[in-house]
Structure 1
Amino acid sequence: MLRATKVRIYPTPEQAEYLNGQFGAIRFAYNKAALHIKKQAYKRHGVSLNSRKDLKPLLEVAKKSRKYAWLKAYDAIALPQAVINLHTAFDNFFNLKLRAQFPTFKRKQGKQSSYHCVGVKVLEGAVKIPKLSPIKACIHREIEGKVESITLSRTATGKYFAAILCDDGKDAPEMPLPKRIWQCPVCHVEHDRDINAAINIQRKGTTALQAAGLVVSAHGGQRKSVIKTVAA
């Protein structure tokens, strides 16, 4: 069974500089190499490029060019993953059930992240990703099982985190329909399936009302969203 643990990491100034550069390379892969090219191809030629089949190979071509050779300095897995993320974003947008927004360009000021699944390790008080020395981490619980991936992220306020995904080798517990309450074996928190279902229904209902132009208050009331025009 897969389990994810999020920990705070404390990169040195040199490590932070590298991570910020890597985040920039990922933004480039997402914005320029994928989203921009995809939009232009459709706008000019009416062709819908597949992010996985058509755009991923362009990254390797870019690395061999003199202009974009700087991309070689960063993880070879993290950059193609950005293109895959764009593919997923478009799939979600065209899925009417999800009501996802159209993919937009990633900003330098927003949350940044990079995905790593090869050459990753969890050490004592540190995490290791390719092309970088171990990064100090505050690991508050024992990491059990095989480390499948580590996703590093930086918040808009400049804090760094690592999401560690592990496979503990255990089977997921069976959840027959008559069993309504389940307790997490790790944190011992009880989950009521009926309450969770009610929360999910409320979220879907709120999303539907907001899509219809209604503003939903915390007390369950609703009113029409009014946009006032301000004179210039």
Structure 2
Amino acid sequence: MKKKNTAGLIGLILVLIADAAMVCLEARSLWNIWEGTGKRMFIYYTQDSNILAMVICAISVVCSLICLARGKFARPEWIRRLKHIGASCLAVTLIVEMCVLVPMNCRRLSDFPREFRYGMLYGEMLYMHTICPLLMIFSFLFLEPGKKMRGNVYIALVPTLIYGGISLYMNYIRAYIGPYPFLYIYIQPVYMTIVWMIVIMGGAEMIALGMHALNGLVTKLYGRIAG
């Protein structure tokens, strides 16, 4: 029992550190972006997904502190579900930027290193596209073991679906253009917009499923080690 309590305490402290780091990094980076672009920052999925992750991690920090104060090391399951949603959305941000937007900005193959540095490693994008997504993914996969929550996969799609719906509508009424090439509904054929939406949402579902599956594998591994 003592060994189990010690492991629970260590796990809680680690997740608290990771979540607190996320909140600090996100707040710093988002504030800098706000100072540079103002309210326009909210039209980007990158910023919106990072704001969502910051809020989730802030809630998680409060929950962890309450658990520590009460001497209870097992956190509520709904916190883990929220972390899955945040990690899935940031994984979409990471993968779409690296595998879709960076290549789309390349006129030739030799442009890829430059565009990769600009999109993934330059300025605040280092935090928005790389560090924070990776930290959130790591935190969920390795610091949030627990039971299966397959139904949460579809809930994790809701933020991306809401963003896509609002962005398409705002493009339709010409409130703004884009901000991503696959949202240029008046520039590309209608069928291409439909194809892009299917690809993005299908990819988001696969990412959420993958996050859930990997978390399950890590949970089983921890169980074997503890056993």
Q: Check whether TM > 0.5.
A: no
Structure of greater Rg: 1
Q: TM-score, normalised by structure 1?
A: 0.26
The structure with the greater share of residues assigned to helix is: 2
Q: TM-score, normalised by structure 2?
A: 0.26
